[in-house]
Amino acid sequence: MILSRLSQALRTQNWLAVALEFAIVVLGVYLAFQLATWSEARQQDAEATRLQEQLEIEVSAAVDEIESWIAYRTEAVSELHDAILTIQSNDPERGLSEQECEAIWGSHIVIWNDVRLVTLDEIIATGRLSILPDTRLRRALLEYRNENSIGNSRRAFIAADLSNVVDTFAEEMPRFIEPGPTESSWLSANRVDCQLQPIRENATLRNRLISNLGRTRGMIGLAEQELEHLRVIQRLLATED
């Protein structure tokens, strides 16, 4: 319809009508473009809000999980530290507690479950990081992802180097299966008898325990670094609410 009128105006050289029809066409295209841009911006804002809300839930859960892991491992390290001091004391009146014995023979068992932010993986995979409005949040997420990757590599290296002293030094720590019904936990069905004097006399065993202590502390330090990155993200997400 508009093209028909525009063609008629050109044939009759009605330049005013030509200008008006042309202006109507340009205005229509402009309004359509603005409407599409506005609609896309609204969709993008809604998607950014959804992603941030999901991130907030996942980051909160990750913080809780890592805090619990650090608390548990710190207690285990404290028990191992006390056990090493008991071994080094050479005090005949001083013995190993049940907790210290368990800390010794289980010093190589340091399990770390990788904490993944599924929504962050989704954001990176789909290239939608730029729709998050806060540049500080975007930078913090990238820094965390990098820290998580490096930390996992370092943790794997440390964990592989932990010494299984209970199997290597069987004479100093003989192992037994407790009689009775099978327990739900394999730990509760196993008993290790820590022979304090033979342990004291074995310098290699003492050195490996000290190495396990240091390596576990290193893993705790890596977890604390990751936790600090998550807390930064958590604070930035809270400001977006």
- Does some domain include residue 168? yes
- Does some domain include residue 221? yes
Q: What is the pTM of this model?
A: 0.78
Is the pLDDT higher at 146 or at 179? 146
For the chain, give the number of residues.
Answer: 241
Mean pLDDT calculated for residue range 165-193: 76
- Does some domain include residue 34? no
CA count, 13 A, side-chain hemisphere, 173: 25
- Does some domain include residue 88? yes
- Does some domain include residue 215? yes
- Do 226 and 208 contact (CB within 8 A), yes or no? no
Q: How confident is the model at residue 239 (pLDDT cuts 50, 70, 90)?
A: confident
Tell me the percentage of the chain whose pLDDT exceeds 90: 61
Is the pLDDT higher at 19 or at 82? 82
- Does some domain include residue 98? yes
Q: State residue 10's pLDDT score.
A: 45
**pLDDT mean across residues, the chain:** 84
Q: State residue 6's pLDDT score.
A: 47
Q: State residue 210's pLDDT score.
A: 97
Nearest to 69 by CA among 226, 176, 181, 182: 226
Statement: residue 14 has pLDDT above 80: no
Highest-pLDDT range among 21-35, 59-73, 124-138, 180-194: 59-73
Number of structural domains the chain divides into: 1
| 65's tokens | 């999980």
Contacts of 197 (CB under 8 A, 6+ apart): none
- Do 123 and 51 contact (CB within 8 A), yes or no? yes
- Does some domain include residue 81? yes
| Residue 87 lies in domain | 45-239
- Does some domain include residue 93? yes
Burial level of 98, CB count in 10 A (0-12/13-18/19+)? exposed
Highest-pLDDT range among 15-24, 38-47, 104-113: 104-113
d(CA 120, CA 228): 17
Backbone angles phi, psi at 117, to 5 degrees: -95, 100
- Do 10 and 20 contact (CB within 8 A), yes or no? no
d(CA 233, CA 171): 50
